[in-house]
Chain A
Amino acid sequence: MLWRKLWADTGALARQASALVVLICLGVALYVGLYEAYQNLGDAYDWIYETTEFADASVLLSAAPESLVESAETIPHVRQAMGRLVKDGSIIQRDRERKRVVGRFVGVPRQHRPTVNDLWVIEGHYVADADEALLEHQFAAENGYHVGDVIKCSYLSRERDFTVAGLVLSPEYVYLVPSEHSPFVSPGTFGVVFVEEDRAREWLGVGRRITEIHCLTDAGYDEEVLEKLEALARPYGLETSFVQEDQPSKRLLTLDQQGFRKLSVFFPILFLLSAGLSLYGALSRIVRLQVTIIGMLKASGFTSREILVQYVMQGVLIAVAGAVPGSILGHWLAVWLNGMYADALHIPIMKAGIHWDTLSIGFLLAIATGFAAAYLPARTAARLPPAVAMRGEMESARGITAQRRLVEWSRLRTVIYLIPLRGVFRRASRTLLALGGIAGGVVIIVTTFGMHASTMDALGDFLAGSRKYDIDIQFRRPSSLAFARSAAALPGARAVSFTTSIPVRARSSWDSGEMMLTGVERGQHLLRIRSQSGEPVDVTPGEIWIPQQLADRLMVEPGDPVMVEWVESSRQRPLRRAFQVAGLVDVAIGNSAYGEFDDIRRSFSDHAYPESSYGAFFACAPSRVDAFKHRFDESDEVVSVSTTEDVTEQIEEQFALMLIFVGVLLSFGLVLAGSTIHSVATVSILERTRELATLRSLGFSARTTAGIAAAELCVLTALGLLVGIPLGKWLNHLYIQSFSTESLAFRAVLPLWIYVATVLMVYVLVGLSSWGALRRLRSMDLAQATKAGE
């Protein structure tokens, strides 16, 4: 009978209990969903990499005789070595929207499939003829190529037509990245074409020479092999080398996955923590309500242990009730997320298996939360001496001293204002709990908004913030600059500004790091470069502006010297030049450093050509953009043309995925913050029922009493905000930072609107959740409430 009563009270708090079930359900769903999605993604990639024999160690070089592959094969622990010819040129599509895009031409054997870096033929068949080619499927989809179509490729003005034999997925381009220096490229503007080897040799014109060697190694020997491979390649102009983990596409993919993984742990933990706090609060309240029953139970001979078990069970059952639907929901979420992801990255295969390990961990986490949250109140209940319990008191001596101090500290003329003020601090445990709950909600809102803001910031910076031009042109050769200058004189043209870029390595006495050194004209305003403090930056010869991350790594400050070098391939003599650090630039994405155009040109670009690139920023009347684009497209001097409008669209597409995640998280976060705040609000009002009823029986109006309860909640909320906002800010910073790498930097930005929105949202949530409780207060049974024990 008495046991029944214990549980009946839990039933009476059904609304609160269901809020807790929802919280735990969401926590588990989020964890299972995100983590399973992460695992599925990993499985899919691993499968692709495995079946295609993705290279463990690779070197890219200027040109080497084919016999070098045989030498590579003799390196210990090399299982398989493959050499091939790869050159960048352009794809010409006169009848398509983009007239000219960057093309990468890769030679593949006809007699057999590549032994390393094989291709996954999605549609069509492997090359069987010298006139056939295979096309990377993302590019094909973007530009509308189908099997059987003809693709026109151009390398140093030598044009060749190929018939598309098949659309393929390459392990090297799962995430479509041309190189580590250009992490963002739209699938529409970069096409990889796999052409028959012999045809490639004849067309790309370097005889029986290769430019890349890819090796499969015994497990664990990739670094060792790579070193020997580098030594082998050095005489032939080693350009870059990497083990599988550092391959640009795979690295970005891993980064993406890691982000996913962090999300899938960070947010669910916040959820479960909040759920645990709320559960703890609810059970503490139940125990207080049931003090006399517990006393009777104990007096009638039940052991502390039996009582402990009853209360712990309540917590665990709530956890189980949340974990079961949570797991199912989570699995659906994983399937849905994987679908979105596969679509966005054009990954044709995606496995959505049930991961029992993740499900079990999610389940155990939920139960652990339930157990942990219930344990303390349960122990309090179990340890109550029967006599104290029967009297219905739970006040400790320490609590009384604290209250005494509180009285001295807070004195006001009008006594009624003292009630909410002191109520906030009445019981430290309750206050901390409520603060924790509200602050937790605030943290979630701030961090999700923060993620959104940082993403948008990176985007905005990349687009609107820096691009003040309409068209970005990449030239075929340095002399093409003259062509752009002549175009600038045409009607409708507003301005042109030249630029050159080259991947280099910067060294200080501490460390070195890679960067893309870009030369821009002095006084130009088409590419807006901003310093860390937001000031526009102008370049001067002899100085370079470097990104913050690099400066941190090199441990240099403005005014310090850095050595910039480019390892020139065929002459074996590196180009070196010391620069002074002019200052730090604020780059949201990428690892660009900036110097003066002529300075960079003379020091590096002109000597390094064709490894360097030349281009121009072009501004014109809005109505003339298409005409100019067309004009540039048609020209032989131009490798590629992209309008700012196109790029915006493309990047927004890439970011859409991130925005979906942020959207999902934000809605989860709001539900979480809402239900935490709801339970805090409900408890803080319910707990005061007797006191508030007494006030009403003394003649205070319903409005005044509701006002007292609301005021207390508002003070509590204000404190929660005071704690939560800095905490959220700090966590957001940590979180965003964990995404940043040498080549990809996100800034943690929290614009004012986030604070305003957070404060508003939290107060709206408090308002909404206390509204119900306050209404019940209005219509409460005073006769009952005044005699109810607290």
Chain B
Amino acid sequence: MQERRQDEPDALVSRDLWKQYPMGDVTVDALRGVNLRLPAGQFVVLLGPSGSGKTTLLNLAGGLDAATKGELAVFGRALNGMNEAQLTAYRRETVGFVFQMFNLVPTLTALENVRLVAQLVGTDHLADQAIADVGLADRAGNLPSQLSGGEQQRVAIARALVKQPDLLLADEPTGALDFETGRQVLSVLWQQTRSRRMTVIMVTHNTILARMGDTVVRLRSGQVVGTEPGEAIPPSQITP
């Protein structure tokens, strides 16, 4: 693993980050004062039981949702206080998303799904390579409905990577896949982000998968209960 330079800002810094959802008379505290500092270039695994606030934190980091209070900065840029145009630019330039349910555009082929984003950020020439990188060169012309779940998720990864984002966010990317398929997908994700020294935050509730992270952040009831170094084992070597 290569070290990043010291003066480079941290990938993510949060201070007393709160997210509350009003639900009728009561408010649900999804995040309750999260303090976090994640250095750049790491593969971070966000681990916690269901309902602990993982998705909420990831969505805040991705600029899909706004915090109720507290501060959140990604690569030194504060997300709270950004207007819609700035958020759009942030989502476009800084982050890549991989969703649990893949969220591919159903009417576009695998390659077109990747090119859609590549054209947005001006990296159209990288689209073919991105599809090849996730091992789908021969399925590039297939529609999502003609791909297996694992293949769809690999397209989603290619779609996120082709943007060459500073931060890749993956919310339970294997949640809809069986273990073996999930492991293959994670291998692709791991390899591709490793080789580019990309910062990754991957959410999972699976402690076994957590072993692949450089850093493991444990979340419980909306609070960080521990940040520890991970084992950084390649997914291909993880056994259930």
Contact = CB atoms under 8 A, between A and B. Distances in A.
Nearest to B96: A698
B99 A426 contact: no
Secondary structure call for the A interface: helix
B85 interface: yes
Interface in A503-542: none
A702 B89 CA distance: 11
Contacts of B108: 415, 418-419, 422
B107 A786 contact: no
Size bracket, chain B contacts: 35 or more
B103 interface: yes
Contacts of A423: 107
Interface string A687-707: 000110011111111100000
Contact of A786 (B56, B99, B119, B121): B99
Given A407-B109, A691-B105, A400 B143 contact: yes
Q: Nearest 7 A-B pairs (CB), nearest first?
A: A699-B92, A422-B107, A782-B64, A783-B59, A694-B103, A783-B65, A415-B116
Contact of A418 (B62, B64, B112, B146): B112
A414 interface: yes
Contacts of B208: none
B93 A699 contact: yes
B122 to A, nearest CB: 12
B106 A426 contact: yes
22 contacts: A400-B146, A403-B107, A404-B146, A407-B143, A415-B115, A415-B119, A416-B116, A416-B119, A419-B105, A419-B116, A423-B107, A694-B99, A697-B62, A697-B91, A698-B91, A698-B117, A699-B91, A699-B93, A699-B117, A701-B85, A781-B65, A786-B64
Given A395-B145, A407-B143, A699 B121 contact: yes
A602 interface: no
A789 B100 CA distance: 11
Given A406-B107, A699-B121, 5 more contacts: A415-B112, A426-B107, A698-B159, A699-B89, A786-B99
Nearest to B91: A699
B163 interface: yes
A158 interface: no
A432 B55 CA distance: 38
B156 to A, nearest CB: 10
B40 to A, nearest CB: 20
B24 to A, nearest CB: 15
Nearest to A699: B92
Nearest to B107: A422
A787 interface: yes
Interface in A236-275: none
Q: With a 10 A CB-CB cut-off, give which of A699, A781, A782 has the most chain B CB atoms.
A: A699
B28 interface: no
Nearest to A406: B107
Interface string B40-77: 00000000000000011001001011000000000000
B101 to A, nearest CB: 7
A691 B113 CA distance: 12
A696 B88 contact: yes
Contacts of B78: none
B84 to A, nearest CB: 7
Contact of A698 (B97, B100, B107, B143): B97
Interface in A755-790: 781-783, 786-787, 789
B233 interface: no
A690 to B, nearest CB: 7
Contact of B107 (A395, A419, A783, A789): A419
Contact of B163 (A406, A699, A781): A699
A786 B103 contact: yes
Nearest to B118: A415
Interface in B104-141: 105-109, 112, 115-117, 119-121, 141
Contact of B120 (A690, A694, A699): A699
Contacts of A701: 85, 88
Q: With a 10 A CB-CB cut-off, give which of A423, A696, A698 has the most chain B CB atoms.
A: A698
Interface of A: 395, 399-400, 403-404, 406-407, 414-416, 418-419, 422-423, 426, 690-691, 694-702, 781-783, 786-787, 789
A630 B88 CA distance: 81
A443 to B, nearest CB: 29
Contacts of A786: 64, 99, 103
A223 B141 CA distance: 78
Given A694-B99, A782-B64, A787-B100, A700 B145 contact: no
Given A419-B105, A783-B65, A414 B119 contact: yes
Given A422-B108, A782-B65, A702 B84 contact: yes
A395 B101 CA distance: 16
Given A403-B143, A699-B92, A699-B163, A787 B101 contact: yes
Contacts of A789: 101
Nearest to B89: A699
Given A407-B143, A419-B108, A783-B59, A700 B65 contact: no
Given A699-B92, A787-B100, A403 B120 contact: no
B145 A400 contact: yes
Contacts of B55: 783, 787
A694 B105 contact: yes
A696 B91 contact: yes
Contacts of A418: 107-108, 112
B65 A702 contact: no
A690 B102 CA distance: 11
Nearest to B121: A699
A702 B108 CA distance: 20
A702 B106 CA distance: 20
A519 B52 CA distance: 97
A423 B112 CA distance: 14
A695 B103 CA distance: 9
Contacts of B145: 395, 399-400, 403
Nearest to B59: A783
B175 to A, nearest CB: 11
B150 to A, nearest CB: 15
A63 B116 CA distance: 93
Contact of B99 (A395, A415, A787): A787
Contacts of A695: 105
A395 B106 CA distance: 11
A699 B107 contact: no
Given A400-B146, A419-B107, A699 B119 contact: no
B204 to A, nearest CB: 16
Given A403-B107, A423-B107, A691-B106, A698 B120 contact: yes
A400 B112 CA distance: 17
Nearest to B176: A391
A596 B166 CA distance: 93
A30 B100 CA distance: 51
B113 to A, nearest CB: 8
A760 to B, nearest CB: 30
A696 B146 CA distance: 25
A411 to B, nearest CB: 9
A24 to B, nearest CB: 33
Nearest to A790: B106
B59 to A, nearest CB: 4
A624 to B, nearest CB: 73
A422 B109 CA distance: 11
Contacts of B100: 787
A695 B91 CA distance: 10
A698 B56 CA distance: 17
Contact of B64 (A419, A422, A690, A783): A783
Nearest to A408: B141
A271 B117 CA distance: 44
Contacts of B97: 697-698
Nearest to B64: A782
A418 B116 CA distance: 9
A520 B178 CA distance: 93
A365 to B, nearest CB: 38
Contacts of B65: 781-783
